Amino acid sequence: MKHGFVFLMCALLFCACLQHTGSYVQKRYEDVDAYMKAREQLIQAELAMRFDADITLTPEEEEANRRLMTLKAEEIERTRGHFPPAHSFLESKTKSLIAQSPVLEIMRRMPKGGILHVHGFLMGDYRWLINHATYRSDCYIYMEKNKKRAGGELQIFEDPPGNGWRPVNELRKAADSVQDFDENLYQSITLGEEDLVQPDIWVEFTNCFRRSMGMFRNDKLLDSYRRMVFRELTEDNVQYIESRSYGSLATLEKIQRENPEFKVKFITYAPRSSSREQIAQMLDFALNQRMARPDLVIGFDLVEEEDKEHTNLFFIDEFIKVRHKAEDRGLTLPLYLHSGESNWAESENVFDALLLDAKRIGHGLALFKHPLLMQIVKERDIAIEVCPISNQVLGFVADLRNHPAVLYINSGLPVVICPDDPALWKSTFSHDFYEAFMAWGLDLKSLKKLAMNSLIYSAMNPEEKEMALKIWREKWAEFITWMNEH
């Protein structure tokens, strides 16, 4: 019965679409002019469905757009032999071509608003970790084989740990080349061209994460790292982030006092591989954190590979119980769930994300396989956190021109661009915008909408959003002026 209802709804939606577009298709055209008129009407009708249809560019923006689209055409011609979005971002040739691009420079200068999907420990330049953390006398590396540890784990210890751990400085001193030693350390905690031969990139992705996380257990190091990250983000013209991470609320408050225009909120999370008991504990922790600082702690998420670990539905009892607990305490615990980060049509996490009233959907790659769910997402105005480079590197979309986000954008669904784990693939937020701009048929109007969406669909309260948009509009006006002067 359920499947029959879904099929009926999809059929009705499809028929309605056919009826709407059928008026543009004629059995006979008087001449080429009549055909071209019908063709233009059909194109405009589809453009009216796009997510940026409500954006009207000023004359200054129109001029900037003409310049931008000329550069885009030149970029397509320049990279015709190796179009970057069609090749893995991990390939050195791909990165080299992007690095030389004037389009990337424009993406860097463009005020991008906020980042709504990023993992806090994985968004800075990891060379900083090599140059700072691994040169500390209390930094150790695990050198033995152990199924419970990823070889080469790095960690800060107050006292020498022994049991397979060696001081990094001791090994560096014994190395033939300090430069090669540091480069090998860097490769061990990031993904690169050498990892394209991995049979399962998720395994190496997880190992990179495990090798670096031990260094962040040191509060002073974490504080210094975060300050570096926020400097990088400011230079990349980002003004707001919602980070999947833990950390001292006091540290976040201090950062915001020092950077009043830069706002930070965070989403607590738990691994999908956790037991139900562990998830219950993490949900209680998240609720307590939110009660302590509802202005900073905005919700909860599940992370790790969806296809191999527990589904959203597996923890449904825990989700429902914590919702009741929140209600009893006069609170809410919003969900921002990774859902649909999968190539499988059988993936049902998006169903449960919608039923659990998720405020946004992380990745949402599988959503395009569910037309009724797409309609619900559009009607309920739920933003999809799209992570172009992450989706490519982790094996979901080899050629970004085929990314489901193109369908979401053209169908009028709310979309935001996000970098996910840029430290691991050595990218910046600007690289994600470059890939999306070049691969998805975007223009300045689309970029403007994406930047605004990142603030509109944030968890900021109305007053915070109003101020953030005011700051962004001022920066955008400066950007348009720069575009038209160069």
Q: Please identify which residue in the block is written with the tokens 């670990």.
A: 309
Q: What is the pLDDT of residue 98?
A: 98
**CA 177 – CA 417 distance, rounded (Å):** 40
What lies within 8 Å, CB to CB, of 428 at 6+ separation is: 108, 232, 236, 419, 422
Antiparallel, parallel or unpaired: β 154-156 and 240-244: unpaired
pLDDT of residue 162: 82
Marked catalytic residue, from 117, 119, 338, 363: 363
What residue ranges of the chain have pLDDT lower than 50? 1-19
Q: What pLDDT was estimated at residue 1?
A: 40
pLDDT on residue 22: 55
CA-nearest of 440, 448, 414 to 56 is 448
Catalytic one of 318, 341, 385, 435: 341
Would you state the pLDDT for residue 245?
83
Q: Is 416 helix (H, G, I), strand (E, B) or coil?
A: strand
Q: Is 305 a catalytic residue?
A: no
How far apart CA 189 and CA 209 sit, in angstroms, is: 7
Q: Calculate the CA 62 to chain-centre distance.
A: 28
For the stretch 465-468, contacts whose Cβ atoms lie closer than 8 Å and that sit 24 or more positions apart, written own/partner, are 468/113, 468/114, 468/239, 468/240, 468/263
Domain 62-124+219-485 homologous superfamily, CATH = Metal-dependent hydrolases (3.20.20.140)
pLDDT at 95: 97
Dist. CA 453–CA 416, nearest whole Å: 6
341 part of the active site: yes
Cα–Cα dist 350/364, whole Å: 7
Closest CA to 127 of 193, 219, 175, 192: 192
DSSP reduced 3-state for 67: helix
Domain residue extents for the chain: 62-124+219-485, 127-215
Distance of CA 173 to the CA centre of its chain: 39
